[in-house]
Amino acid sequence: MPGEVRVRFAPSPTGLPHIGNIRTALFNWLFARHHGGKFIVRVEDTDQVRLVPGSIEAMLAGLRWLGIDWDEGPEVGGPYGPYQQSERLQIYYDLANKLVVQGNAYHCYCSRERLDQVRQGQRERHTPPKYDCKCRFLSQDEKDSLRAEAESDVIRFAMPQSGITRVNDLIRGEVEWKNELLDDFIILKSDGFPTYHLAVVADDHLMEISHVMRAEEWLPSTPRHLQLYEALGFDPPEFAHLPMIMGPDRAKLSKRHGATAIGEYEDDGYLPEALLNFMVLLGWSLDGETEKMPTQDIIDNFTLDRVTKSAAIFDQEKLLWMNGVYIRELTSDQLADRMLPYLERDLDDELKPVEQDYLRRIAPLLQERIKRLDEAANMSSIFFKVDKFEDTGILVQKGMDRDSTLTALKAALDQLSATDDYGHEKLEEVLNATGEKLSLSRRQFFGVLRTATTGRTVSPPLFEMMEVLGKDSVVSRMEDAVEQFSAAG
């Protein structure tokens, strides 16, 4: 790749970051890391009306959580700053005026009402909506009198009215537009802020961005940007427009498809490395088959020829599956560490603080059974307390009655009190024998035991669980169960 690779992620702080934004960030980051270049974050806050406080902080937190680090930008600074467009207004103002002086841009004094009328006329004639260029061809006298009357003015770019603008997009190939169909778009607004178009071109040039990699929805803006580059005498960067992301129903991705703000994935117990792996498959693939890949392998192989043109489909089920795969690959100590914050968050106060060593013994029993870390509290709470029996009838197994259940409970309690070896194999052996003596099937006898020791009909493997709970706790749970069952009968 000639020259240094410098790519940027340029979020607008207009809401909480979602999968689409972060996928763009991720692809830029992977591209930079693959080529040993720089990844820059730039805040595009020129639309002051749509600013949503906290969105940049949420964006940066999301990137950090995923392990996407930036070389220049907010918090880290860098030689091309400031990296927030609202702090660069003078630059855009000067460039807009330079374009006016050169004759590539002009002041427009048209009122909102007049623009609405123009739009209305175009609608009636079924012609594309476009500024009618009234202020482009004014005499000096007309300009002077309009300026004196106008409440405010904007600067518009004077688009060439013939010819073609072409881009050789690194993903989509050659795309071209007829200039006559393009609008004289605004570059500087009446509040003195630039529009996105001017600011993005100015900054991509001044920050020496080599590749502009962004969502496909920006492709139609590219001819405007190319014309601006040309008028300003700047060399344009390379462009690469990333495929759209859609739901399985082929509609634009939304909450309805399960896609939520990035922070919610963390709250819901997704592992950042699993989400990262899932997201890279939204428009990129190693060989059309491999799904699970360590981040370093992705970086090593991340080239644009592997980015697809067709839309990517966001499949929530696949994300859940992938998260489960990543959870099972953790060591049980790692899983315990990862679960801890979720337990601290979700367990009842009286069960906290959670003891780390105890958690490390619980973790292996949950590992096969959870797909998200936020399931950990519910599933592990039985290690801390027995669910209260709302109805002791749940102790009675199919084919049993209350008498045989009470007999089974008592026999189990006797056996569990007499046994000192609480290794799960030994427990299974002795309890199996007890059940056989009572002529109960394994399903029946172990069902009674499971329900008695947990208060639930479903739990992690019974004997492993008892081993972790230990004799004192198991015996006291059994005693309680016998007592409650007898009292209720």
**Helical ranges in 281-375 per DSSP H:** 295-301, 316-329, 332-346, 356-367
255 a catalytic residue: yes
176, 164 in Cβ contact below 8 A?
yes
> Shortest distance, CB of residue 12 to ligand GLU, whole angstroms?
4
Give the three-class secondary structure for 438. Answer: coil
Cβ proximity to ligand GLU, 10 vs 171, nearer residue: 10
Region 191-210 residues binding ligand GLU, contact defined as CB under 6 A = 200
Task: Report if residue 28 touches ligand GLU, rule: CB under 6 A.
Answer: no
Strand (E) positions, 109-191? Answer: 154-157, 164-169, 173-178, 186-188
Among 7, 12, 367, 380, interactor with ligand GLU by CB under 6 A: 12
Cβ proximity to ligand GLU, 209 vs 376, nearer residue: 209
Task: Report if residue 18 touches ligand GLU, rule: CB under 6 A.
Answer: no
Among 17, 44, 171, 284, interactor with ligand GLU by CB under 6 A: 44
Give CA–CA dist 179/26, Å, rounded. Answer: 33
What is the length of the chain? Answer: 489
Q: Single out the catalytic residue among 130, 143, 178, 255.
A: 255
Cβ count near 343 (within 10 Å) = 22
> Shortest distance, CB of residue 115 to ligand GLU, whole angstroms?
24
Binding segment for ligand GLU (CB under 6 A), chosen from 6-14, 96-104, 109-117, 180-188, is 6-14
Among 93, 218, 234, 422, interactor with ligand GLU by CB under 6 A: 218
Contacts of 120 (CB under 8 A, 6+ apart): none
Give CA–CA dist 82/1, Å, rounded. Answer: 27
**Helical ranges in 126-269 per DSSP H:** 140-149, 196-206, 222-232, 262-267
Cβ proximity to ligand GLU, 11 vs 460, nearer residue: 11
Among 5, 11, 184, 242, interactor with ligand GLU by CB under 6 A: 11
Question: In Å, what is the CA distance from 142 to each residue of 136, 156, 286?
Answer: 11, 17, 61
Cβ proximity to ligand GLU, 44 vs 428, nearer residue: 44
Binding segment for ligand GLU (CB under 6 A), chosen from 7-15, 163-171, 324-332, 387-395, is 7-15
Give CA–CA dist 145/143, Å, rounded. Answer: 6
> Shortest distance, CB of residue 89 to ligand GLU, whole angstroms?
16
Cβ proximity to ligand GLU, 23 vs 156, nearer residue: 23
Q: So which residues are the catalytic ones?
A: 255
Query: Under the rule (CB under 6 A), what is the footprint of ligand GLU?
Result: 10-12, 44, 200, 214, 218
